[in-house]
Every structure is written in C-alpha cells, then in structure tokens.
Amino acid sequence: MILTDTRILDEMEKGNIVIDPFDRKFLGSNSYDVHLADSLAVYKDDVLDAREHNRVTHFKITDHHGFLLLPGRLYLGVTREYTETHNFVPFLEGKSSIGRLGVDIHSTAGKGDIGYCNTWTLEISVKQPVKIYAGMPIGQLIYFEVSGEVMVPYNRKKSAKYNRKTKRPVESMMWMNFDSKTLDKK
C-alpha cells in the first residue's frame, strides 16, 4: 500500500520518515515533491568500465541561467532534500511535467531501501536539449508499506555503497562489487 499525505505526516512525526528541508506545500495526496539541488556531475571518460572506479567532474547550476542538458550524455544530479526512511520502502519517480519535457531522472534506481538515509542521486538523460534550474521540482517520493521485519536496514549494512552523507551526486560504485573471491577480475 502507498502512504497517503496524512500517513506521511504521521510517520514524520514518529521519525519513521525524515525530509529536510520539508515544506507542507510540496506534500501531495500520496507523495512528496523533491527538488533539484545546484550540483551536477558528468563522467570524465566517454567509455565507462563497470570494474573500475569511473571518476566524475562536479559543477554547479547557476541560479539565473540554469544549465542546458544535451542528449547522448548522462548527467548525475542530486535532490535538495535529505531523506530518511525507516519501516517503509521509498520510490522516487519523475514528475509528469519533467517527463513531458523528455527528461528522465533515473535509469534503473528509483527504489530506495528501508533505512536509506541520504539525498538521492539522479541519473538524468534527455530526449532533446532542455534547460534545467536549481530548485526546480524534479521528482516525487512515494512510500510503500512492507510486510515482515527487516533484518538489516540499509544504513546498517556493511556492504552498503551509498551510505556516506552527501549533498553532491555520487558516481556508480559498481566496481566495489568486484573482488577476487567472488568474480573473476582482469
């Protein structure tokens, strides 16, 4: 089941959901709108390798001029909002207004885990050139109830790769999945 606005507020009061900053006007009937922060990143190399740590270049979106996104390039963005979700599964979906501009905010990573405590890195791609701005609504968080107890929430997993609190987009840490004991390395 998806949480309603009143249930989201109740769970925030209990500390099971944290959204910072929070503004009541961005709470929908069953979701919360999140906004694009002023930090973007792009990979330094044109060819990425899943077994290697692919480095990124970080830059800021200027307030008034925005930033022009071009097709054929992957941009990493980040939400302005820091979130914590305990006892629920958060899903981040793009807003329909963003989709109608041909902007995708995630390729595959729209679901968070119980215990995810951080900002959300966005995997942004566009169908045609689109200018974006820091602070613009970019997505919406939806919260699902779960059945059963969680043995180890994400923020307590030793293997969790995205626990380091950040206000900047985080590049892929897929390379950390490759070790000599489990996978054949070069």
Which residues are catalytically annotated?
Answer: 123
Residue pointed to by tokens 């910072």: 20
Alpha carbon distance 104, 18 (integer Å): 25
Judged by DSSP in three states, 174 sits in: helix
Label residues 148-179 b or e (16+ Cβ within 10 Å = b): eeeeebbbeeeebebbeeeebbbbbeeeeeee
Contact 95, 33 (CB under 8 A): yes
Judged by DSSP in three states, 160 sits in: coil
Determine the residue type at 118: N
Strand pairing class (75-78; 137-145)? unpaired
115: which 2 tokens? Answer: 């215990």
